[in-house]
Amino acid sequence: MTTTQAPDMYAAGGEHIAAAVDLVKVYRQGQAGVRALDGVTVGFAQARFTAISGPSGSGKSTLMHCLAGLDSATSGQVTLDNTELTGLSDRELTRVRRDKVGFVFQSFNLLPQLTALENIVLPVTLSGRHVDNDLLDHLVGVLGIGDRMSHRPAELSGGQQQRVALARALLARPVVLFADEPTGNLDSQSGAEVLDLLRRSVRDLGQTVVMVTHDPQAAAYADRVLFLADGRVVDDVDATQAPKAPQAPQTEESAGRAR
């Protein structure tokens, strides 16, 4: 296990596709302030799967929102694909989010009136780009949703809806795909499948993925796990080097199956 907080390793830009330097976020609450991020310096390498983990209220979502240009920091720097987000206007931030960022949320966020296929292609067509049909076919095949393309979200299971959301995010070829508790609304089987698909997008498509999760089993799918506590990075584990990251404790039943 390696604990790293050295700012020079995580200087903005360089080999990192996304980075935060000395990021502070204070939410004002009347006279008081909540220091949700307290000087976070971290970089994310391309084509890696990073989980941001930590207890409730530790700042995971706030960090993700600042990295993705959904929220602005109180101080510090965020860079995404060599663009410094700090200081951009709302309009410029909207463009960065549209062109460079993909999202997968716990709640799927599909448009209910549209079919699965229409949901998947919507962001690309809205941004005036043409749909890469080869990539679309590939994603639909890998995600196993080919026979669901004409269904509306209400006619799909939670796992299928999250696969549609994943296809929608990946089709746009985002610089970084941010996933916020993507398995939070799924049963464990569907959740494991979605996590495996995220991992495959990193391996097969070279996608960079940053996932917020409080679930150690979900975090175990990542190459790297950042742990936050009280708005600070308290541990940074390279899971490709370390012994396999936290697994569910073995039950009598699973031990029996393994025997």
Ligand X SMILES: Nc1ncnc2c1ncn2[C@@H]1O[C@H](COP(=O)(O)OP(=O)(O)OP(=O)(O)O)[C@@H](O)[C@H]1O
> Minimum CB separation from ligand X for residue 171, in Å?
27
| Residue selected from 36, 85, 164, 197 as contacting ligand X according to rule CB under 6 A | 36
**Least Å from the CB of residue 60 to ligand X:** 4
Nearer to ligand X, 26 or 142 (CB): 26
- Rule CB under 6 A: say whether 183 interacts with ligand X: no
- Report which of 139, 87, 98 is spatially closest to residue 116, judged by C-alpha positions: 139
Site string for ligand X, 43-82 (x = CB under 6 A): -----------x-xxxxxxx--------------------
Residue 31, SS3 per DSSP? coil
Can you say how many angstroms the Cα of residue 165 is from the centroid of all Cα atoms in its chain? 12
Q: Scan residues 202-231 and list those touching ligand X (CB under 6 A).
A: 214
Task: Supply the minimum distance, in Å, between the C-beta of residue 56 and ligand X.
Answer: 3
Bridging pattern class, strands 49-53 and 32-45 = unpaired
**Residue 27 touching ligand X (CB under 6 A):** yes
31 near ligand X, judged by CB under 6 A: no
What whole-number distance in Å separates Cα of residue 216 and Cα of residue 225?
9
Nearest CB to ligand X, comparing residues 167 and 195: 195
Burial of 13 (0-12, 13-18, 19+ CB in 10 A): middle
Helices (H), 82-207: 90-100, 116-126, 133-143, 158-171, 188-205
Residues that bind ligand X (CB under 6 A): 27, 29, 34, 36, 54, 56-62, 214
